[in-house]
Amino acid sequence: MALVNSKVYQKIFQNGFRRTLGISVLLATIPVLAQNSSQNSNQNGNQSAAGSSAGIEAFNQGNYEQALGLFEAAERAGDQSDSLDYNIAVSLYRLGRYEEAKERFLLLVDKPEWQVLVRYNLGLVAEAQRDNALAVEYYRFSAQQQENERVSALAQQKLDALEQQSSQPSVAATSSRRNWASLVSLSGGQDSNASSLADDLLESTSSAEDTFRELLLYGHVQVTGQQGNGVRLYGLGFDRVFDTFDHLDSRVLGIGAVYEKPLGNYLFEGGIRATNTTLDSRDVADQWQLSAGLSRRFEFGTVNTSYAYSRFDAGSDFAQIDGDQHMIELGWRKQLGDVNLRSRYRYETNAREDLERTGAFASYSPDRHGLRLEARWQVTQSWSTGLIAEHIHSRYDDANRLRDTDGQIREEKRVNKQSRVTADVSYRFNQHWRAKAEYQYTDQRDNFDIYAYDKHRVLGTVEFQF
């Protein structure tokens, strides 16, 4: 496997890798020797150049973990070159860390001198993740370009191979469906406390548990560009039906649009969404949301932050939730071998109408702090298991005046703490079908006993993606 110096890389690229790189190079992906930024000091430049050279040598010997470490060391030494981003992406791909490899490749996808090669490699990543639809989209771009005959030929070979694997009559038909995806999910389960009754009230009822069914429909279409750089429209529908407590039956319908754009080392995402929620066929609220966020990959993981504003137009029976909501999120994720780690902090503030009647008052305007930790282990190609821990602390603006479970009227600001643990096991039959079993425990504590409860939920789900 040949090495390529970045000074001659562009010339080689324009000449279709003639005389230097064989077809097998692109099929396997290859690192290129990074050129140090002129802004670096000589010492840092020498360190990063040495790290890049040693990384390529380790890569060529098949020591991909060592190569990645050397490339990342060169980055810490000050190398900010596009070539180094590419080398890191290739190493991550070889190590099977496909999501991280994709994020690195996306940093280069809009740069003219890289977009053909990078899109081909993004196709390899998508194919490795069994997203053949997205792979075709990337391969098709590389196959149609005229700058590099070898890349075009390789991409066309990949398209032909994917066509043979599918039952679709032509690559054109495949690519025409490449820009959309959908999901159908059907679930059934049991809730030990379907109405979320207070602990003290459970003693006076014969049974609070109920079985339920859920249906989720989701679909999106990429109307411009591609994933990570363009506009995507989506729609969703969710329906939950209880067997006994039918007054808890709920439905959510929504539509939205997302705009994604790489901005240097960052990925910008802006969105707009409209949803309608009903409870027992009664309108709860229409929600209108605007959001914007940025994400960036660092050595310690990918960090994202976002802000969302929502306006709630409530139905006549739920006027207390009419009002505004502001939400800020800070997230982190990292792939460690077969384990994917995620965390999220969320701050939310609300200005709602609240509820006041016959001397009683209940605030619906909380300030909330939420923390979510998630770990997912890909045990085998088909089996995976996950664990999620969440805690939400809510403090309401105004003093509630309510009759509590002991019959006494109390007046004070409400403070609520909710903890939730979710564990699941998932089995993927193929790229379309997946089954999942889930258990969830929720414990809610409150200074008003009427709001304190706990519950257990078990759930079985079958999903079909197409």
Residue 37 lies in a domain: yes
pLDDT at position 202 is 56
Taking 80 as the threshold, does the pLDDT of residue 4 lie above it? Answer: no
pLDDT bin (cut points 50, 70, 90) of residue 431 is confident
How large is the average pLDDT for residues 408-427? 95
The arithmetic mean of pLDDT across residues 95-99, rounded, is 89
Asked if residue 211 and residue 124 are part of one domain, the reply reads no
Tell me, yes or no, whether 131 and 187 share the same domain: no
Percentage of the residues of the chain whose pLDDT score is greater than 70: 84
pLDDT score of 28 more than 50: no
Query: Cα separation of 303 and 374, whole Å?
Result: 15
Position 178 scores a pLDDT of: 53
What pLDDT score was predicted for residue 263? Answer: 87
Same domain membership, residue 162 and residue 26: yes
**Mean pLDDT, the chain, whole residue set:** 83
Domain assignment present for 114: yes
Share of the chain above pLDDT 90, in %: 44
330 and 444 housed in the same domain: yes
| pLDDT, average across residues 254-265 | 91
Q: Is the pLDDT of residue 176 over 80?
A: no
Q: Which residue has the tokens 């000074």?
A: 7
Per the domain annotation, does 71 fall within a domain?
A: yes
Quick: pLDDT tens for 316-355: 899 999 999 999 999 999 878 778 899 999 999 999 998 8
Q: Residue 168 pLDDT more than 90? A: no
Same domain, 311 and 191: yes
Mean pLDDT of 278-284: 93
The whole-number average pLDDT for the span 248-267 is 92
Q: Are residues 140 and 212 in the same domain?
A: no
pLDDT in tens, 370-409: 999 999 998 987 899 999 999 999 999 888 888 888 888 8
Residue 398: its pLDDT value, please?
86
Residue 1 lies in a domain: no
Spatial distance between the Cα atoms of 36 and 7, rounded to a whole number of angstroms: 11
Using left for φ > 0, alpha for ψ between -120 and 50, and beta otherwise, residue 229 falls in beta
pLDDT per residue as tens digits for the range 183-205: 999 999 999 999 887 766 655 55
Per-residue pLDDT at 199: 67
Looking at residue 91, which CATH number applies to its domain?
Answer: 1.25.40.10
Least confident range from 15-19, 26-30, 181-185: namely: 15-19
DSSP letter (8 states) at residue 33: B
Query: 167: exposed, middle or buried (C-beta count within 10 Å: 0-12, 13-18, 19+)?
Result: exposed
Residues 326 and 203 in one domain: yes
Whether residues 40 and 143 fall in one domain? yes
Residue 188 and residue 101 in one domain: no
Q: Is there a single domain that holds both residue 343 and residue 422?
A: yes
* Mean pLDDT of the 36-59 span: 61
Kindly tell me the burial class for residue 277, based on how many C-beta atoms sit within 10 Å of its own C-beta (0-12, 13-18, 19 or more).
buried
- pLDDT at position 16 is 34
CA-closest candidate to residue 418, choices 443, 389, 455 = 443
Report the distance separating Cα 182 and Cα 184, nearest Å.
7
Three-state DSSP state, 177: coil
The verdict on 343 and 448 lying in the same domain is yes
Whether residue 70 is predicted with pLDDT greater than 70 in this model: the reply is yes
Domain presence at residue 431: yes
Last residue of a domain, one of 114, 146, 176: 176
Q: Is residue 217 part of a domain?
A: yes
Query: Which letter does DSSP use for residue 120 in this model?
Result: H
Pairing of strands 409-428, 383-403: antiparallel
Any idea what the CATH number is for the domain that residue 288 is in? Answer: 2.40.160.10
226 lies in some domain: yes
Domains of the chain: total? 2
> How sure is the predictor about 358, in pLDDT bands with cuts at 50, 70 and 90?
confident
The domain boundary residue, chosen from 160, 176, 192? 176
- Among 21-30, 38-47, 268-277, name the most confident range: 268-277
What is the band of 229 on the pLDDT scale with cuts at 50, 70, 90?
Answer: confident
Mean pLDDT of 228-255: 94
Q: What is the pTM of this model?
A: 0.67
pLDDT in the model for residue 51: 62
What pLDDT sits at residue 159?
A: 82
State which residues form the domain around 188.
Answer: 180-465
* Domain match, 243 and 148 both: no
Stretch 125-143: mean pLDDT: 85
Task: Identify which has the larger pLDDT, 34 or 100.
Answer: 100
Beta strand ranges found along 122-265 (DSSP E) = 180-191, 210-226, 229-242, 250-263
| pLDDT band (50, 70, 90) for residue 174 | very low
Which of 139, 156, 176 corresponds to the end of one domain? 176
Q: Is residue 245 part of a domain?
A: yes
